[in-house]
Amino acid sequence: MAFQYLTNTSLKEARTAFLDALKSSGFGPDTETVPAAESCGRITAAAVYAAISAPHYLASAMDGIALRAGLTFGATETTPVTLREEDFIVVDTGDPVPDGCDAVVMTEDVIRQEDGSVRLYASASPWQHIRQIGEDICAGEMILPSHMRISPSAIGAMLAAGVLSVEVLRRPRIGIIPTGDEIVPPSADPKPGDIVEFNSSIFSAMIREWDGDPVVYPIVPDDRELLRSALLTAIKECDAVLLNAGSSAGREDYSAEVIAETGTVLCHGIAIKPGKPAILGLSGNKAILGVPGYPVSGILVLTEILRPLLDVWYGTAPDSGQTVDAVLSRPVVSGLKYQEYVRVHMGRVNGRLIASPLSRGSGVVSSFMKADGILTIPQGTEGHAAGETVRVKLLRPAEALDNTLVAIGSHDPLLDECADLLHRADPGLFMSSSHVGSMGGIMAVRRGEAHVAGIHLLNETDGTYNTASVRRYFPKGGVSLVECVGRTQGLMVAHGNPLGIRSLQDLTRDSVRYVNRQKGSGTRILTDYLCKTEGVSSRRISGYDREEFTHTSVAAQIAAGTADAGMGIYSASRLYGLDFLPLCTEQYDLLIPDYAIGLPMVQRLLEVLRSDDFRQRLKKMGGYTLKNPGAIRRHF
Amino acid sequence: MAFQYLTNTSLKEARTAFLDALKSSGFGPDTETVPAAESCGRITAAAVYAAISAPHYLASAMDGIALRAGLTFGATETTPVTLREEDFIVVDTGDPVPDGCDAVVMTEDVIRQEDGSVRLYASASPWQHIRQIGEDICAGEMILPSHMRISPSAIGAMLAAGVLSVEVLRRPRIGIIPTGDEIVPPSADPKPGDIVEFNSSIFSAMIREWDGDPVVYPIVPDDRELLRSALLTAIKECDAVLLNAGSSAGREDYSAEVIAETGTVLCHGIAIKPGKPAILGLSGNKAILGVPGYPVSGILVLTEILRPLLDVWYGTAPDSGQTVDAVLSRPVVSGLKYQEYVRVHMGRVNGRLIASPLSRGSGVVSSFMKADGILTIPQGTEGHAAGETVRVKLLRPAEALDNTLVAIGSHDPLLDECADLLHRADPGLFMSSSHVGSMGGIMAVRRGEAHVAGIHLLNETDGTYNTASVRRYFPKGGVSLVECVGRTQGLMVAHGNPLGIRSLQDLTRDSVRYVNRQKGSGTRILTDYLCKTEGVSSRRISGYDREEFTHTSVAAQIAAGTADAGMGIYSASRLYGLDFLPLCTEQYDLLIPDYAIGLPMVQRLLEVLRSDDFRQRLKKMGGYTLKNPGAIRRHF
């Protein structure tokens, strides 16, 4: 088919047109009656009125005796009143107040006499310790207005008021049709080219959180007729349908055509990034969404389009969520053409809330999982400079951000183990790590944006690690160097070392494809240094400018056969079953600024480093030597 | 049985002892394996690691052609490079990058030639538009630490990383045993003395919100042996058991004895109000809670004791919720002996967040439903004065409080209809009403604590309504009087008027039991005035000092036969099928201060008053005359 051109309609315009069209199409809920006891979280269809009063009778509010208050008038400490047995009735809490009685005196104030009479040393006031009819709710009163979410206590109020069933808005059925020839169900062993279909699971969980009822249909291959028939079925059975994906303009992207055949396409292409190739359409009073295939794009399109649609359905107010001001740790450049969504890590460091941009790839679903917030950059603006204060929409409670230890610096899988041990030790604490290399970590600490930085920086003149760099970048001090681990660096090569690589020199052979770490990382600096001392020209190493950001991602490339060698730590090579040529042992330490060292969560991290659990986990990973992890090597 | 003395252990002490005892008893979760796709909201039992990398192969990130980047070097606008068909392969987004290729050029940049070759006007950089293996997640990386709640995007990350099932903590089974001879299942027509059992429905909904699995057992009468056997069964089947109620020290409160027989009672009586007669016990590693019968007491005991127990189970951090500072509108007096919990209505008025105490009765479950927040008054303090700034724990989003119209003043059921119409018109708006009488409303407006006050105050000298009072209490002006309705006031009497009441004079007969409204209410002032003008001595009316706070609660007493007559509006008498003796028509208006009149939500209320819907609803209720509701009668 011909190349389709996508429009670049602004989100606001597209969404308003879509929601307006749906409203006027009659899109909206019918109602259903459910037992009040099982209605928690549902939305009332109409105002709910009490059928009976609660309490529905005059009830004793105490254990004691019921009587006519008038009989007790004049009773005092010095002039007690004595009542005969026929003048009072013993009642327990909740008992009906007998006819003719208008007060209850509680057990503790009743002095029983041997002849069955009682003596009272204080007069009772009329209606004391009696629960009046309707004290809680009067028959006929409105208990809940329309379109309100039913809470646990509202269930109690309804049942107390004799309302045993309640009319609520039906949950909308949202059909999800996964499409694509290459799409396969989740698998632990997919073939190259297989795209694992996990979007429907993400979308279903989101829809349930928004009180929708997801219906996942079988995967449909890229075939126009099959897609059309699947869409027709879903339209019949559901209130809204998501076609995922095929919403772009490629050779086999049939979504727009098929939607046009079964209804109307209102908009194809929205000025948001990720999420641009979305399609908004309708068929009768059913909503149809073409959702892009990349998971981050899909999550954003559902958040920006489907959630407001559910608000229209329920007649509830859009939940715009909590937003906070935060200082941006790195610049974010955005095109003028789109409204852009940037996932950010957040944490409170040195009194300021810091937001660090995460990966912006729309295929990187883990960026959403790790994100603490979303920074929205409006269409027509170019982004933000580092250090700028920006408004961020929170994805986690603000409180959690105050208890998040922010680690920025060199990557080592041991940081993840620390995060796990820290959170196990104190479930109120979290740790977020950004991998920006040792130099990135030093700069983050200098700017007051990290509690901890992992570093391993060789001083070429004397072969020591870290102290020289710290002295250079913190001439006035203000930081501590905390001992962590020694670790073995070396060349990772495929299992069995098929190319027979024995030295750095071997990397210059034509047949060897190298994969490197990014500039500024300690491992890159080490590699540059080793090449220099061994007289190897790095320019002659093919792939020396192919950069990965972690030890594991270098190992992953070699394991998959897209590269033959890369520098990294032993634990990463072991994880992937690679062969390993040890080249040196280096010191990996934690740099901790004075503004952070006294924080309970940082002290807790040092305890983790000193723990047996930590030692055992690292032993299992291999390639580490531990002397006194958690000890302060030096304060600068 | 003998009278049992309850201890008055502080909440903190009791809770710590209980949780510590449970922890050392081995109380805690086993784990279960669930499909990752269905794990949303569950808590990870252990850290989750990626089984495969995502992407698991080198994938094209674009529709275009795959090639070796080296072939394109030197291509510019003026010196294009031409590639033969065998030098490139057409790929779609997501396709594997063929062996030997290390770059993708997107379709838009490829100029196709007639002979099948393509021309490129820019060089490709190595690895451009290629998703590296592990770009999202590397095999072996930690995806989620232990004891983390699984989010929709985490489901995506797990499935992408080949993790198809995940070990999570089992939900704790919480048994609920309702007890008591007088307890009956929810009914629309209970007999006097029947106590409707709705606590188990409230508790179940709360437990589900806290990720527990409630198990409700049949109602057990007040019989020691039956209770014991029910408890033994529940202990065997559940992780924690709630006995509700029988936890106090009355004649038939067996809970403490029965818990002691099957395990250990750690504490009987906690220094909280409501909630004092709680029992904390355990049997082996099973928790047992004696929960007081009043619903508010029960909700508080579950919140303060059971929820922390679930945090211990899951190893999650306690969620202390959001707290805010607010100005207290009325004094709250508290005993020194207990930590007291006061439910409050909240709203932002004239720039300040105002907290108004709701009913403190522990049987008033509607107070919890209506509450926007909880004010905790610590043990050993005497409460707070009006105007004091207090810290309140929010039960609703802070944002909702900014959009809540605060009505304080005279009661009329039409206010509930306004609240419903307002919320239907704009689901982002809420309205809360406190019934404190006309004078209470005027004072609230004077103190800047209400947006609107319903008033109906007769000027005895000329028979006009409201203007004279407003002039007296607002000598400097600053308020508007907005027309609402005329309404018929009169005497409500039982259906058929069995006592033949014809006038106020008849109320002084010995056989007539009157029920009055509270002092300061417009209706009370009207009644006092009518008695005076008709020469009726109110002191001779039996029950003249029995006070109710709303028209409906007065009607409810008469309908139930606990009183014979009361003054009120026609719509209330009609709701209960009472006979009605009209005495006068009065003007019920809304007093709106200048600081509120311009607010969009107040303007929206005026629109509601002017609407047909409002007119129709009031017509149905009866007893109202509407001229120009919503019109500003006068600005002062």
Task: For residue range A118-130, list pLDDT tens digits in order.
Answer: 999 999 998 999 9
Measured at the alpha carbon of residue B466, what is the angle toward residues B462 and B469, in degrees to the nearest 5?
Answer: 85
- Which residues of chain A lie closer than 8 angstroms to B364, CB-CB? 135-136
Q: Mean pLDDT over residues B603-614, rounded?
A: 98
Q: Mean of the per-residue pLDDT values for chain A?
A: 94
Q: Min CA distance, B67 vs chain A (Å)?
A: 15
**Cβ contact A586:A486 at 8 Å:** yes
Closest residue to B140, CB basis, from A140, A151, A576: A576
Q: What are phi and psi of A428, to 5 degrees?
A: -85, -5
In chain A, which residue's Cα lies nearest the Cα of B204?
A: A152
B152 contacts in chain A (CB < 8 Å): 202-203, 205-206, 209, 299
Task: Say if CB B208 and CB B214 are below 8 A apart.
Answer: yes
Overall residue count recorded for chain B in this entry: 636
Inter-chain residue contact B190 with A147, CB threshold 8 Å: no
- Picking from B322, B366, B548, B564 by the largest number of A CB atoms within 10 A of its own CB, the best residue to mutate is B366
Pairing relationship of beta strands B373-377 and B339-349 according to DSSP bridges: antiparallel
Q: One-letter amino acid identity for A27? A: F
Question: In whole angstroms, what is the distance from residue A553 CA to residue A572 CA?
Answer: 9
State the helix-helix crossing angle for A522-533 and A437-446, rounded to 10 degrees: 130
Contact A255/A279 with Cβ under 8 angstroms? yes
How many Cβ atoms sit within 10 Å of the Cβ of residue A113?
A: 12
Interchain proximity B557–A134, CB inside 8 Å? yes
β-bridge mates for residue B17, sequence order: none
User: How sure is the predictor about B138, in pLDDT bands with cuts at 50, 70 and 90?
Assistant: very high
Tokens encoding A612: 């047996």
CB B499 within 8 Å of CB B507 = no
Chain B residues close to A186, C-beta within 8 Å: 36-37, 159, 162, 164
pLDDT band at B3 (very low <50, low <70, confident <90, very high): very low
Among B182, B320, B560, the residue with its CB nearest the CB of A133 is: B560
Chain A hits for B403, CB-CB cut-off 8 Å, are 317
Put simply, the answer to whether B148 touches A423 (Cβ < 8 Å) is yes
Q: How do residues B515-530 score in pLDDT, each as one tens digit?
A: 999 998 999 999 999 9
Question: Which residue out of A159, A510, A578 would a mutagenesis test of the B interface target, given it has the greatest number of B Cβ atoms within 10 Å?
Answer: A159
Find the helix or strand (DSSP H, E) in which B610 lies: helix B600-610
Q: What is the average per-residue pLDDT within B410-425?
A: 95
Sign of CA dihedral B471, B473, B475, B477: negative
What pLDDT digit, counting tens, does each position of A26-48 carry? 999 999 999 999 999 999 999 99
CA A429 to chain CA centroid, nearest Å: 15
Map residue A199 onto helix, strand or coil: helix
Yes or no, beta carbons of B251 and A53 under 8 Å apart: no
- The predicted pLDDT at position B249 comes to 66
What are the residues facing A165 on neighbouring strands?
A35
pLDDT at A359: 84
Residues of chain B neighbouring A552 (CB-CB closer than 8 A): 134, 138-141
Structure confidence at residue A251 (pLDDT): 65
pLDDT for the residue numbered B4: 54
Asked whether B419 and B347 are in contact (CB, 8 A), the reply is no
pLDDT at residue A249 in the model: 66
CA distance B422 to B532: 40
- C-alpha–C-alpha distance, residues A578 and A573, integer Å: 5
Q: What percent of chain B has pLDDT over 90?
A: 88
Could you give the ipTM of this predicted complex?
Answer: 0.93
Q: Are B423 and A204 in contact (CB < 8 Å)?
A: no
Q: What is the pLDDT of residues A510-542, one digit of tens each?
A: 999 999 999 989 999 999 999 999 999 999 999
Instruction: Give A556's contacts in chain B (Cβ within 8 Å).
Output: 53, 133-134, 138-139
pLDDT at res. B566:
97
Q: Do the beta carbons of residue B328 and residue B385 sit within 8 Å? A: yes
Asked if residue B339 lies in contact with residue B52, where contact means CB atoms within 8 angstroms, the answer is no
Residue from B201, B395, B430, B574 to probe the interface with A (highest A Cβ count within 10 Å) = B201
Residue in B with minimal Cα distance to A415: B142
The answer to whether the predicted template modeling score (pTM) of the entire model surpasses 0.90 is yes
Tell me the domains of chain A and their CATH numbers.
Answer: 11-28+172-314 (3.40.980.10), 31-55+135-169 (3.90.105.10), 59-131 (2.170.190.11), 438-635 (3.40.190.290)
Q: Which residues of B are less than 8 Å from A363 in CB distance?
A: 55, 61, 131, 135-136
**What is the Cα–Cα distance from A323 to A470, expressed in whole angstroms?**
36
CB contact under 8 A, A155 and B202: yes
CA distance A261 to B468: 70
> β-strand B352-357 against A279-283: which pairing, if any?
unpaired
- CB atoms near residue A218 (< 10 Å): 8
Q: Report the candidate in B612, B236, B569 with the shortest Cα–Cα distance to residue B412.
A: B569
Q: Identify residue B202 by its one-letter amino acid code.
A: I
Q: Which residues of B touch A135 (CB under 8 A)?
A: 359, 361, 363-364, 553
Q: For B230-257, how does the pLDDT look when each residue is reduced to its tens digit (9 = 90+)?
A: 999 999 999 999 999 876 766 668 899 9
Residue A145 contacts residue B419 (beta carbons within 8 Å): yes
Instruction: Quickly count helices (H) and strands (E) in chain A.
Output: 18, 38
Contacts of B154 in chain A (CB under 8 A): 369
pLDDT of A96 over the 60 cut: yes
Q: Give the torsion through C-alpha atoms of A9, A12, A18, A19, to 10 deg.
A: 180
User: What does DSSP assign to residue A115?
Assistant: T
The pLDDT value recorded for residue B317 is: 82
CA distance linking residue B209 with residue A254, whole number of Å: 42
